[in-house]
């Protein structure tokens, strides 16, 4: 059983605007503390420590990275990133031309990707949203890990997808007989995808971590050839399950490789318009969590990690199809509803479904810092 532990919020405020945002963040922190809608046995402390410089705040948090979160209000932090080595969890508030933007992420994907002028993070809709994401990341980082799916994971990956989709009755009728044959949910679109998986951190020596969640990016017709993962899938099916080869064959007729969204009226025109504007786009799909691990915040970790993965692939436009009741869930990670693209059916299920999208800001690679000395020089 997880032990109870508390988290402190350490803030660094640079100017008057930063002070105003700090007040709003304090209110958000107290709302989160009062509502107690947090993973595990986390509790938030009542007092918030305010530091006069980002360097002081960073050094203070680094002393106890497992019980402190850093929130930066307005300081320039060009070299500051969320460092897994240092264990720092960060929420950044950036002020540009009088406009404030908050950044925080639940991503656990290992990367060195960085916004041009601030930390590894993603845009959040409010102080409360940004803090929630970082708290989730803080809680889960010593319990689960996110990684790209490798060839050795394919049986577990497709089996997990099958179990969850079978429970939800999502597997299309025309695929059911072959899919049920080996209890694997696999599709032609897997040849043009990049998947990630979530596994528990297993302390047993030599044991194989259990795959408890997954998701993927699908690149569609803009991918001129299979992704490296797609080639692994093709080899895997041809070698292990030749009777399932039909599932990865390209269907006849025009197809965009988005098996859910292509049935939504208006989506094909929308997609072609994005292509004409030069968008480098991908679909988020198969966001799946094992039913035994639902309602623990893993879905948001998967979505945010896929957004980080999209940045590494130089994708600047993401979209997805989902059941309408899941709109709020994806909105927490920056997706907004696409007007006039909807369906009264989601795959096999008669239920209102919608399409959502978001534009990703540009990022660039920056090295991680290993100490606060370089950080202090950015506070100007």
pLDDT digits (tens, 9 = 90+) for 138-196: 888 888 999 999 999 999 999 999 999 999 999 888 888 888 989 999 998 999 999 99
- What pLDDT sits at residue 162? 96
Look up residue 15 and give its two tokens.
């100017």
pLDDT at 279 over 70: yes
Separation in Å, CA 102 to CA 202, 229, 258, 365: 34, 34, 32, 20
Q: Mean pLDDT score of the chain, rounded to an integer?
A: 80
Highest mean pLDDT among 66-70, 113-117, 268-272, 327-331: 327-331
Q: How many CB atoms lie within 10 A of CB 246?
A: 11
- Report d(CA 233, CA 151) in Å as an integer: 8
Q: pTM here?
A: 0.85
User: Which whole number is the average pLDDT over 281-308?
Assistant: 93
- Report d(CA 180, CA 155) in Å as an integer: 14
Look up residue 39 and give its two tokens.
């993973």
- What pLDDT sits at residue 259? 81
Look up residue 243 and give its two tokens.
């009777």
- What pLDDT sits at residue 373? 33
> How does residue 366 score in pLDDT terms, banded at 50, 70 and 90?
very low
What tens digit of pLDDT does each residue of 193-249 get?
A: 999 999 998 756 567 789 999 999 999 766 667 789 999 999 999 999 999 999 998
User: Which whole number is the average pLDDT over 337-353?
Assistant: 92
- What pLDDT sits at residue 230? 92
Query: Would you give the DSSP letter of residue 361?
Result: P
More reliable by pLDDT, 269 or 54 = 269
81 and 114 in contact (C-beta within 8 Å)?
A: yes
Share of the chain above pLDDT 90, in %: 36
- Report d(CA 163, CA 158) in Å as an integer: 9
> How does residue 111 score in pLDDT terms, banded at 50, 70 and 90?
very low
φ, ψ (nearest 5 deg) of residue 84: -65, -30
Bridge partners of 342?
354
Q: How many CB atoms lie within 10 A of CB 116?
A: 10
Q: Token match 């198969």: residue?
A: 286
């Amino acid at each position: 059983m997880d032990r109870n532990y508390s988290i402190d919020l350490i803030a660094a405020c640079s100017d008057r605007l930063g002070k105003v945002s700090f007040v709003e963040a304090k209110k958000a922190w107290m709302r989160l503390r009062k509502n107690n809608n947090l993973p595990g046995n986390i509790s938030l402390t009542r007092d918030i420590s305010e530091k006069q410089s980002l360097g002081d705040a960073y050094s203070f948090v680094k002393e106890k990275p497992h019980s402190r979160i850093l929130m930066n209000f307005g300081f320039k932090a060009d070299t500051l990133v969320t460092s897994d080595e240092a264990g720092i969890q960060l929420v950044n508030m950036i002020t540009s031309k009088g406009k404030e933007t908050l950044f925080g992420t639940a991503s656990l994907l290992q990367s060195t990707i960085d916004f041009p002028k601030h930390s590894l993070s993603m845009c959040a809709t409010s102080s409360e949203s940004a803090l929630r994401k970082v708290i989730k990341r803080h809680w889960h980082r010593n319990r689960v890990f996110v990684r790209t799916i490798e060839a050795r994971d394919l049986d577990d990956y497709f089996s997990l997808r099958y179990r969850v989709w079978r429970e939800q009755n999502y597997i299309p009728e025309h695929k059911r007989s072959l899919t049920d044959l080996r209890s694997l949910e696999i599709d032609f679109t897997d040849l043009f995808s990049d998947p990630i998986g979530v596994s528990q951190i297993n302390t047993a020596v030599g044991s194989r971590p259990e795959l408890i969640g997954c998701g993927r990016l699908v690149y569609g017709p803009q991918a001129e050839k299979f992704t490296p993962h797609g080639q692994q899938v093709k080899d895997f099916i041809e070698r292990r399950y030749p009777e399932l080869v039909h599932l990865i064959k390209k269907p006849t007729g025009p197809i965009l490789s988005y098996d859910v969204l292509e049935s939504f009226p208006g989506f094909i025109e929308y997609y072609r318009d994005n292509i004409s504007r030069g968008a480098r786009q991908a679909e988020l799909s198969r966001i799946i969590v094992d039913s035994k691990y639902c309602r623990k915040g893993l879905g948001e970790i998967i979505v945010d990690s896929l957004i980080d993965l999209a940045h590494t692939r130089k994708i600047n436009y993401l979209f997805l199809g989902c059941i309408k009741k899941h709109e709020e869930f994806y909105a927490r990670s920056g997706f907004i509803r696409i007007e006039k693209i909807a369906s009264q059916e989601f795959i096999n299920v008669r239920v209102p479904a919608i399409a959502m999208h978001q534009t990703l800001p540009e990022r660039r690679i920056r090295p991680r810092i290993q100490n606060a000395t370089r950080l202090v020089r950015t506070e100007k």
